[in-house]
Amino acid sequence: MDQQPPGAPGQTPPGGPADCYRHPGRETAIRCTRCNRPICPDCMVSASVGFQCPDCVRQGSGTGHHPAASQPRTIAGGAVAADPRLITKILLGINAAVFLAVLANGALTKDLALLGRAPYEFGGPVEGVAEGQWYRLVTSMFLHEAWLHFAFNMLGLWWLGGPLEAALGRVRFTALYLLSGLAGSALTYWLAAPNQPSLGASGAIFGLLGATAVLMRRLNYDMRPVFMILAINLVITFNPWGGIAWQAHVGGLIAGALIGFGMVHAPRERRNLVQFGTCAVALVVVVLIVVARTAALT
């Protein structure tokens, strides 16, 4: 890591990349429009023009009054939270709780996994989403059987979720995660064999990866690391040995990238309309896919 010259943290020649003045080691090309100090996504507060650092926001809004009009906002317009990883932690906790429940009772996998339409056992009842068990589209997003599968997905959630949650805000991040996971489930339900069960948070994680790529492009970050991670994951997804529900990965990635684009590129004057309109369109597409596939299977 290059050392900064002596002086105030982050004070490097204007225009060049530098470490965030509040988080040494996080390189960024974005600077506060008031003090010109470099700021990372966790520290960026949306202003009327560009972004400001938390210190300038506090100075501008006063020490004793915090009117709603001057409430600090993230790059996507969400409220700046004291704990920018709260939803990420909650999602980790839900996945961990379900994983432990499955370890204690393996029959839960049969009840919660994504299944199109088929009997789980020879001669048993026909089950699946097409039989009205639509909850499987959601429950399968939090379901893992193997330690390695669980650990890999949760590591991805922690690495990608924290910065995205800080940049988008809690409500927008939650919508991104759930809709990406649902899109992955819907594409799996549509394209996979109806008797092929699938499970895992991979669709939602790939959605976070797609949104991360969009956010990094929006902030003019070096895109090579995220492209490398994406390439590695796609190679794993389409490995010749199979065993991976590639449909969930592709569905989540596409949904995450499109929703992320709507989140961070929405014009300020119509931000909520564009952002939540994008989420509504994604949800409608998911519903249409599920309804069409259900009609085809029944």
Range of the domain at 119: 86-297
Q: What is the mean pLDDT of residues 30-45?
A: 83
> Into how many domains does the chain fold?
2
Q: How confident is the model at residue 15 (pLDDT cuts 50, 70, 90)?
A: very low
The mean pLDDT value for 147-161 works out to: 93
What's the gap between Cα 72 and its chain centre? 22
Say if residue 89 is exposed, middle or buried (CB neighbours under 10 Å; 0-12, 13-18, 19+).
middle
Over its C-alpha atoms, the chain yields an Rg (Å, rounded) of 21
- Cα–Cα distances in Å, from 223 out to 8, 77, 175, 212, 257? 28, 23, 24, 10, 14
pLDDT at 4: 35
Q: What is the mean pLDDT of the chain?
A: 86
Task: Specify the pLDDT at position 82.
Answer: 79
* Active centre residues (catalytic): 202, 249
Q: Say how many Å lie between the first and final Cα of the chain, rounded.
A: 60
CA distance 237 to 156: 15
Q: Which tokens belong to 49?
A: 């023009």
**Of 5, 39, 70, the domain-final residue:** 70
Residues 120 and 248 in one domain: yes
For the stretch 189-248, pLDDT in tens is 999 999 999 999 999 999 999 999 999 998 888 888 888 888 888 887 787 666 788 999
Same domain as 132, residue 100:
yes
Confidence grade of residue 93 (pLDDT, cut at 50, 70, 90): very high
> What CATH number is associated with residue 262?
1.20.1540.10
What is the pLDDT, as a whole number, of residue 109? 92
Q: What is the pLDDT of residue 73?
A: 78
In terms of domains, do 107 and 44 share one? no
Closest Cα partner for 248 from 166, 182, 159, 293? 182
3-state secondary structure of 239: coil
Residue type, 188: T
Do 281 and 209 reside in the same domain of the chain? yes
The 3-state DSSP class for residue 190 equals helix
169 and 51 both lie in a single domain = no
pTM for the whole structure:
0.78
Q: Is residue 9 part of a domain?
A: no
Q: For residue range 39-84, what is the model confidence (pLDDT) as tens digits?
A: 888 888 876 556 788 888 777 654 444 444 456 778 888 887 778 8
Q: Residue 171 has what pLDDT? A: 94
Residue 12 in this model has a pLDDT that exceeds 50 = no
- The whole-number pLDDT of residue 172 equals 95
Which H/E stretch holds residue 255? helix 246-264
- DSSP classification of residue 75: T
Q: What is the mean pLDDT of residues 120-142?
A: 92
Q: Are residues 130 and 47 in the same domain?
A: no
243 vs 101, higher pLDDT: 101
Give the count of beta carbons closer than 10 Å to the beta carbon of residue 273: 11
Q: Does residue 223 belong to any structural domain of this protein? A: yes
Mean pLDDT of 156-172: 93
State the pLDDT at residue 64: 40
| Per-residue confidence (pLDDT) for residue 5, from 0 to 100 | 38
What are the b/e assignments for 204-223, b being 16+ CB within 10 Å?
bbbbbbbbbbbbbebbebee
State CA 8 to chain mean position distance.
34
* Among candidate residues 190, 196, 200, the one with its CA nearest the CA of residue 120: 196
Strand partners, 73: 79
The conformational region for residue 19 under phi > 0 = left, psi -120 to 50 = alpha, else beta, is: beta
Same domain assignment for residues 107 and 225: yes
Q: Do 171 and 122 share a domain, yes or no?
A: yes
Are residue 53 and residue 110 in the same domain, yes or no? no
Q: Are residues 155 and 54 both part of a single domain?
A: no
Kindly state the average pLDDT of the residues 252-260. Answer: 97
